[in-house]
């Protein structure tokens, strides 16, 4: 049994080293790493984003007839204390902003997280239980704003 | 004195266990503070998270009760209560089962809150799993190989990070370091304004110190003892700074707990040479 320990640990360490430097191993192992036992230390060198993301969303409540427009700024989201959840949201926004405007919405996990965050924000701030929501992502840099993404209309 | 203290494996393991427990305690307190996020109306409801491919095992409705807000609350409270038991228990027949239960609970919390987790949480999982493997195969007192494993893990983590920074021109000239520290996502809101006014040359110097320090990690086993102390001092300062400036509090405890493993590796390599 004593020989088993060095073999197991050596294989594990080899996996950790491979995941850092070999792209194919990274893709292969990352899918199977449910417990975070093969960390990618690239995360230790984060790249900052220049400018500010602006998320503006429009909530449409049919009873009132006119849509209520509400603005929210992403940089304030740090207050929730969920730093890493916000990083996932920013990652999603980065992906969305890379593409051209009006592309089909991504149905991935991070997008669902972003949409959920915006829906929750709208429910808290506007206090409407039912209605429709559409959001826009803009980048503000040096006093100029540019539209990067507009979503479909979703049920609130 | 410190050098001699960490030449004895049980001292290193005990030190690591205490710091690991502090890191897990901090993690659980942060989860409890944000417990509202785990409710169906919160930011991280289980229905949303289980769409992710890695949760394919847990898609069935019967797992729902393990990952709700109440179970998250319960898991974190149990983990907090287990931590003093884990540190204070000296007997192996009591210590090992506590470690196994603590590891399983930490896995469950990690699965549920992986979106909130960072590299410190992943390293916590590695430490717990490594200790379970080591103590189940060789017993509590003869942990030598696992200490080498932790030391090499630390070296790989620093070296990889240093290599990536060295490749980026903006990390080398300090631009990225300044930008990272003044973003609201990574930075500390209290220090944002004062950091923004600091000259870029200061960040360039700091950035280059960090890159050289991280890249030199693979030399730690063969460094002269006095330089090794300097290396460990920079490491401690680095983790304290990331904790205070970037609010990565878990890193302080997890990585500081692993630093004595470098001393142990150094002692044994020096003896061998």
Chain B residue with CA closest to A109: the answer is B52
Which band of pLDDT confidence, cut at 50, 70 and 90, is reported for residue B48?
low
Q: Closest-CA residue in chain B for A31?
A: B54
On the question of pLDDT at B246 being above 90, the answer is no
Q: What is the pLDDT of residue B143?
A: 62
B91-120 tens-digit pLDDT: 777 889 999 999 999 999 988 887 667 788
Q: What is the pLDDT of residues B7-16, one digit of tens each?
A: 788 889 999 9
Q: Closest Cα to residue B67, out of B113, B15, B119?
A: B113
pTM for the model stands at 0.78
- Ranked by mean pLDDT, which of A99-108, B147-156, B164-173 comes out on top? B147-156
Domain ranges of chain B: 2-272
Whole-angstrom Cα distance, residue B38 to residue B32?
10
Q: B109 or A124, which is more confident?
A: B109
Yes or no, beta carbons of A20 and B137 under 8 Å apart: no
Q: What pLDDT, in 10s, does the model give residues B197-226?
A: 888 899 999 999 999 999 999 999 999 989
Q: How close A128 gets to chain B, by Cα (Å)?
A: 14
Nearest CA in chain A to B115: A85
Residues A89 and A77 sit within 8 Å (Cβ to Cβ): yes
CA-nearest residue to A88 within chain B is B115
Nearest to B137 among A1, A12, A46 (CB): A1
Beta-carbon pairs below 8 A across chains A and B: 140
Substitution target from B27, B67, B137 for chain A, most A beta carbons within 10 A? B137
Q: Structure tokens of B191? A: 């220090």
Distance of CA A8 to the CA centre of its chain: 35
| Interchain pair B122, A20: CB under 8 A | no
CA-CA distance, B75 to A135, in Å (whole number)?
Answer: 36
Contact A117 B43 (CB under 8 A): yes
What is the per-residue burial (b if ≥16 Cβ within 10 Å, else e) of B140-170? beebebbbbbbbbbbbbbbbbbbbbbbeeee
């Amino acid at each position: 049994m004593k020989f088993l320990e060095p073999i197991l640990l050596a294989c594990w360490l080899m996996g950790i080293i491979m995941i850092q430097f070999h792209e194919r191993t990274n893709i292969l192992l990352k899918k199977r790493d449910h417990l975070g036992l093969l960390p990618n230390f690239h995360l230790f060198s984060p790249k900052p984003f220049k400018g500010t993301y602006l998320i503006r969303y429009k909530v449409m409540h049919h009873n009132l007839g006119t849509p209520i427009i509400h603005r929210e700024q992403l940089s304030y989201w740090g207050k929730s204390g969920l730093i890493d959840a916000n990083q996932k949201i920013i990652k999603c926004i980065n992906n969305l902003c890379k593409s051209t405007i009006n592309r089909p919405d991504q149905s991935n996990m991070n997008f669902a997280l972003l949409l959920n965050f915006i829906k929750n924000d709208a429910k808290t701030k506007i206090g409407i239980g039912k209605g429709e929501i559409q959001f826009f992502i803009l980048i503000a840099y040096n006093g100029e704003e540019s539209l990067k993404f507009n979503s479909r209309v979703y049920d609130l | 004195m410190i050098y001699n203290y960490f030449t004895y494996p049980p001292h290193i393991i005990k030190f690591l266990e205490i710091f690991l427990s502090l890191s897990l305690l901090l993690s659980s307190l942060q989860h409890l503070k944000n417990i509202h996020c785990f409710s169906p109306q919160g930011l991280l409801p289980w229905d949303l998270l289980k769409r992710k491919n890695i949760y394919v095992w847990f898609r069935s409705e019967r797992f729902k009760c393990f990952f709700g807000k109440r179970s998250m609350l319960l898991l974190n409270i149990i983990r907090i209560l287990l931590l003093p038991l884990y540190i204070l228990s000296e007997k192996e027949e009591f210590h090992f089962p506590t470690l196994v239960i603590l590891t399983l609970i930490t896995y469950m919390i990690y699965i549920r809150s992986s979106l909130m987790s960072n590299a410190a949480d992943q390293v916590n999982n590695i430490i717990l799993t490594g200790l379970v493997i080591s103590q189940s195969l060789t017993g509590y007192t003869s942990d030598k190989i696992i200490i080498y494993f932790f030391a090499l893990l630390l070296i790989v983590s620093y070296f990889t990070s240093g290599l990536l920074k060295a490749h980026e021109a903006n990390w080398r000239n300090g631009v990225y370091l300044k930008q990272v520290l003044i973003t609201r996502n990574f930075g500390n809101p209290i220090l944002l304004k004062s950091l923004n006014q600091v000259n870029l040359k200061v960040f360039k110097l700091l950035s280059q110190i960090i890159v050289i320090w991280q890249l030199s990690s693979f030399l730690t086993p063969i460094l002269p003892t006095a330089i090794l102390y300097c290396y460990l001092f920079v490491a401690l300062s680095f983790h304290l700074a990331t904790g205070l400036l970037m609010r990565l509090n878990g890193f302080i405890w997890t990585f500081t707990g692993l630093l004595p493993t470098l001393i142990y590796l150094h002692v044994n390599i020096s003896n061998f040479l």
